[in-house]
């Protein structure tokens, strides 16, 4: 289902068979052998004489060649429309994670959804801890998106320790479990969103 969402937003239409990668050749030297046997001068004269016999001109624009939609274009449109019918949290996640959305509303929406699920686990944490967790939630959303699409971890624990200004021991005891808990929440959000999309597109 992840691949379906990605292709629905990003898959290009195929090229026509007649559209090769080579540049078209319009050199007279190549096609000179196709001129009438009488020679170029006679051919040019005939063309000039024939052109003077025109008594009217065609003013309507010539029909242009159009590239028909590929068979799966309608299925892609169906998936995109179905995403818009999902709850806001699911919409934000699917567009942010798989449609490569550049809209701040989607990235912010994912972070807000994550925080809404994670905040109750903090209990009576100090204000400084809550502030640090809010920043960590945004980084977790970015990192989880990268994990789902490329398997790469873009925010390493060592760098997070520097940003939070904490020791390795503090990370291992307190912040590491919080970081992993956020990824668990995002994984659950991902599963819920894909299942909801599957139910309304089948």
Give the helix/strand (H/E) hosting 99: none
125 belongs to a structural domain: yes
Going by pLDDT thresholds of 50, 70 and 90, the confidence category of residue 79 is confident
Q: 32 lies in a domain?
A: no
DSSP designation for 171: I
In a domain, 23, yes or no: no
Segment 83-105 mean pLDDT: 91
Q: Tell me the two tokens of residue 19.
A: 């559209």
Inside any domain, residue 157:
yes
In a domain, 46, yes or no: no
39 φψ region: left (φ > 0), alpha (ψ -120 to 50), beta (else): left
Percent helix, strand, coil in the chain (nearest 5)?
Answer: 65, 0, 35
16 within some domain = no
- The DSSP letter of residue 175 is I
pLDDT at 60 over 90: no
Its domain, for residue 186, covers 75-201
Kindly report the pTM of this predicted structure: 0.67
Give the pLDDT score at 80: 87
C-alpha of 150 from chain center: 14
The whole-number pLDDT of residue 67 equals 57
Domain count, the chain: 1
Tens digits of residue pLDDT in 106-116: 999 999 999 99
Residue 53 lies in a domain: no
Q: Is the distance from CB of 122 to CB of 133 less than 8 angstroms?
A: yes
Mean predicted lDDT score pLDDT of the chain: 79
Q: How far apart are CA 127 and CA 137, in angstroms?
A: 15
Average pLDDT over residues 140-166: 94
The yes-or-no verdict on residue 173 having pLDDT over 80 is: yes
Summarised one tens digit per residue, pLDDT across range 7-34 is 666 554 444 344 444 444 444 444 444 4
Report pLDDT for 68. Answer: 62
Confidence class for position 51, pLDDT limits 50, 70, 90: low
pLDDT score at 112:
96
Q: Which pLDDT band, with edges at 50, 70 and 90, does 86 fall under? A: very high
The reply to whether 62 falls in a domain is: no
Q: Please give the DSSP secondary-structure letter assigned to residue 172.
A: I
């Amino acid at each position: 289902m992840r691949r379906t969402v990605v292709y629905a937003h990003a898959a290009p239409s195929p090229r026509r068979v007649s559209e090769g990668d080579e540049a078209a050749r319009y050199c007279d030297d190549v096609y000179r052998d196709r001129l009438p046997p009488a020679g170029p001068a006679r051919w040019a004269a005939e063309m000039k004489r024939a052109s003077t016999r025109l008594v009217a001109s065609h003013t309507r624009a010539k029909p242009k060649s159009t590239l028909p939609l590929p068979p799966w274009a309608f299925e892609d449109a169906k998936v995109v429309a179905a995403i818009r019918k999902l709850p806001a949290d699911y919409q934000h996640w699917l567009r942010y994670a798989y449609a490569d959305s550049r809209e701040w509303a989607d990235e912010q929406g994912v972070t807000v959804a994550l925080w809404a699920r994670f905040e109750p686990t903090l209990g009576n944490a100090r204000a400084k801890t809550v502030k640090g967790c809010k920043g960590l939630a945004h980084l977790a959303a970015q990192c989880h998106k990268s994990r789902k699409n490329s398997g790469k971890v873009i925010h390493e624990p060592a760098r997070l320790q520097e940003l939070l200004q904490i020791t390795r021991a503090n990370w291992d005891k307190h912040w590491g479990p919080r970081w992993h808990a956020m990824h668990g929440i995002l994984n659950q959000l991902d599963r819920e969103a894909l299942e909801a999309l599957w139910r309304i597109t089948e």
